[in-house]
Amino acid sequence: MTTVIVISFWIGLPYWWERSCNFTIGLLVVGHWLMINTLFYYYMGVAISPGYPPQGSLIPEAVTICKKCIAPKPPRTHHCSVCNRCVLKMDHHCPWLNNCVGFNNHRYFFMYIIFITLSTLFIIIFGFNLVYQEVWLGTNKDYETLIGHPIHFNISSGESSVS
């Protein structure tokens, strides 16, 4: 995610600023809103406990015993083999969050997925024009302005590897 943000500021920001300052400010506002929400919901998905059954007390609604924990298990509780604990309303163990998705953090995980999808679409939509104009059509023929520019490095490395 950090790489995408750095590349967006290093390549995308100058490209769009050159075309329209007001449009670029709008892109910055929307992009930062998406980034802040994505990071917030990621943090909440990681930091919030998924919800565990109470330990050491009788659970009146417990109908089964977990065979791994040897403890009473409420309905819709499942044992996570990664965390080695029972999780209330367990959906799955998420490797990106390194946490189970359960009763307490399911909404944060769901919102994280929504915002990461919106952020990806945002980058694809506004990065497509840049790639199309600069790489596909090759509209920038002034190569001295591209010295040190990542697109120039990508184009030159691709040409040298082919020859």
Same domain membership, residue 40 and residue 60: no
Residue-range definition of the domain harbouring residue 61: 54-95
Confidence of residue 157 (pLDDT cuts 50, 70, 90): very low
Same domain membership, residue 63 and residue 28: no
Same domain membership, residue 5 and residue 76: no
Task: Tell me what the mean pLDDT of segment 62-78 comes to.
Answer: 85
Q: Which residues are catalytic?
A: 94
Task: Tell me phi and psi for residue 38, to 5 degrees.
Answer: -60, -45
| C-alpha torsion sign, points 87, 91, 96, 97 | negative
Name the nearest CA neighbour of 146 among 160, 130, 161.
130
The pLDDT value given to residue 160:
39
Same domain membership, residue 113 and residue 140: yes
Establish if 159 belongs to a structural domain. no
Tell me the C-alpha distance between 78 and 92, whole Å: 9
Tell me the C-alpha distance between 16 and 127, whole Å: 10
Count: domains in the chain: 2
Task: Tell me what the mean pLDDT of segment 33-55 comes to.
Answer: 93
Same domain membership, residue 60 and residue 40: no
Establish if 162 belongs to a structural domain. no
Establish if 157 belongs to a structural domain. no
